[in-house]
Amino acid sequence: LSELEALMERMKRLQEDKEDEEASQEEMATRFEKEKKESLLVISGGICAFPVQFSFDDEIVSTDVSRYIEDPGFGYKDFARRGEDHLPTFRAQDYTWENHGFSLVNRLYSDIGHLLDEKFRMVYNLTYNTMATHEDVDTTMLRRALFNYVHCMYGIRYDDYDYGEVNQLLERSLKVYIKTVTCYPERTTKRMYDSYWRQFKHSEKVHVNLLLMEARMQAELLYALRAITRHLT
């Protein structure tokens, strides 16, 4: 099977399995913890922990931008150290964008919540119902896997989501690309972009990037707004 056909087959099988039998809460929690720990190993200091078809070292453009910024050492750090047994988890049900963050940010800055919410929804729901040459395809499952994987990297868990879908739908090389775009955008190269989903249209792959950026922004907002809420109460 081609990469595209294999992905569509996995989506079909996951949908059938979901209709036949849903995973228990305990199983879903275990799968999340596994995915969360593995996400810490995807990239470490620019080195891939998984075997992939590209490397960073030969394509990173070294540009001295330190003179343009106040803190040259500022950058992404994983939310927990690798090897820790009990990694922190942000349970989305305890503090959601829809029920908590949206209303708070509107209080802090009038109407900004509506603008952000519209942006999140538009990017998340954007679809032509296609996958490369295939038409009339429901891509909801795939879009949710991409969005939730970014949140998983930030330790955010949705109790109603089976993270086994992430492992089935997102291959390791794609996970490396996702974490690079989300956490180390300066290391993203055209070669990496070309290396995943080769049969997909550019518009579809650009949509992936938009999803990753909006997911990261929402994750950051959730942490920040939860901290503000705790301070106010």
In this structure, is residue 89 part of a structural domain?
yes
In this structure, is residue 54 part of a structural domain?
no
Q: What span, in angstroms and rounded, lies between the C-alpha atoms of 145 and 172?
A: 13
- State whether residue 156 is helix, strand or coil: strand
In this structure, is residue 169 part of a structural domain?
yes
Q: What span, in angstroms and rounded, lies between the C-alpha atoms of 10 and 22?
A: 16
pLDDT tens per residue, range 178-218:
999 999 888 888 999 998 999 999 999 999 999 999 999 99
In this structure, is residue 70 part of a structural domain?
no
In this structure, is residue 59 part of a structural domain?
no
Count up the domains in the chain and report the number: 1
Q: What span, in angstroms and rounded, lies between the C-alpha atoms of 4 and 55?
A: 23
In this structure, is residue 60 part of a structural domain?
no
Please report how many Cα atoms fall inside a 13 Å half-sphere around the Cα of residue 166, on the Cβ side.
26
pLDDT tens per residue, range 82-137:
667 778 899 999 999 999 999 999 999 999 999 999 999 999 999 999 999 999 99
pLDDT tens per residue, range 135-156:
999 999 999 999 999 999 999 9
- The range of the structural domain enclosing residue 182 comes to 3-49+76-232
Q: In this model, does residue 220 exceed pLDDT 80?
A: yes
**Mean pLDDT computed over every residue of the chain:** 86
In this structure, is residue 17 part of a structural domain?
yes
Q: What is the pLDDT of residue 66?
A: 64
Q: pTM value? A: 0.86
